[in-house]
Amino acid sequence: MCELLGMECNVPTDIVFSFAGLAARGGRTGHHADGWGLALYEGKAARIFREPAAAADSPLARFVREHPLKTLLAVAHVRKRTRGPVCLVNTHPFARELWGRQFVFAHNGTVKNVRRLKLGRFHPIGTTDSEYAFCALLGAIAGDFKAYPRAPSELAAAVAEHGARIGVGGTFNFLLGDGTQLIARCSTRLHHIVRQAPFARATLADEDVTVDFAAVTTPKDRVAVVATLPLTKDERWIAATPGTTWVFRKGRLAATFGD
């Protein structure tokens, strides 16, 4: 299957450290060599890099690592193809505009009977079950609300509800960013960590890279990182219970929903 990576912070932060670990799994330490993508939010819009190639060997992925861009919210993905050919339109993360902002989505797993799902005004460009499920999810929440809710928690609750419905009988691990919050659903496997003071050192599990976060942060910083599998070997990651949806805002776990 694919692997997911998300980051949500209370201060602009670069994702270079975590993305280096994910990129290594995209063809070097893992078999997820069928494409990669990274979305970095700037307000309501996301700067998106995507390539239908192995991240571990990609000059573009190396460029992203060597030219860090700080953001409050990021979504990344390395793909192991299950449905749909290896090509740009089938490469995660996918993005659509709704209520004057970009929604970004990345998925891990297979959604059963996905073509039976009702679509609204959103339609897939590629041939993956992932993009089709994303369009169905956006269509559902667009039907629930006329505009972006004043309380982001209302939107998160709706995403959790529709995510459970869409994922019935299949595997629907996903990350959804809307520029304000990061929503992470665990169908089978997902982990997260919140880095905050007192900061310590961390070493990647897939690369010989160590960062002393105390040297590059302030005591007020908080950074939440979500990944399919822990990216570091010397930190305590929290595993999600299948059927759980996490919501991250301002670098902390703001809400948890169950199916």
The dihedral through the CA atoms of 131, 34, 179, 159 has a sign that is positive
- Scan for tokens 């280096």, then name that residue: 20
User: Strands (DSSP E) along 138-179, which ranges?
Assistant: 173-177
Q: Do the beta carbons of residue 71 and residue 42 sit within 8 Å?
A: yes
Q: How far apart are the C-alpha atoms of 132 and 57, rounded to whole Å? A: 29
- Scan for tokens 């005591």, then name that residue: 219
Task: Give residues with Cβ within 8 angstroms of 101, minimum separation 6.
Answer: 44, 45, 148, 178, 179
Sequential DSSP letters for 192-241: EEEEESSP-EEEBSSSS-EEEGGGT--TT-EEEEEESS-SBSSS-PEEPP
Residues annotated as part of the active site: 2
Closest C-alpha to 139, from 117, 156, 154: 117
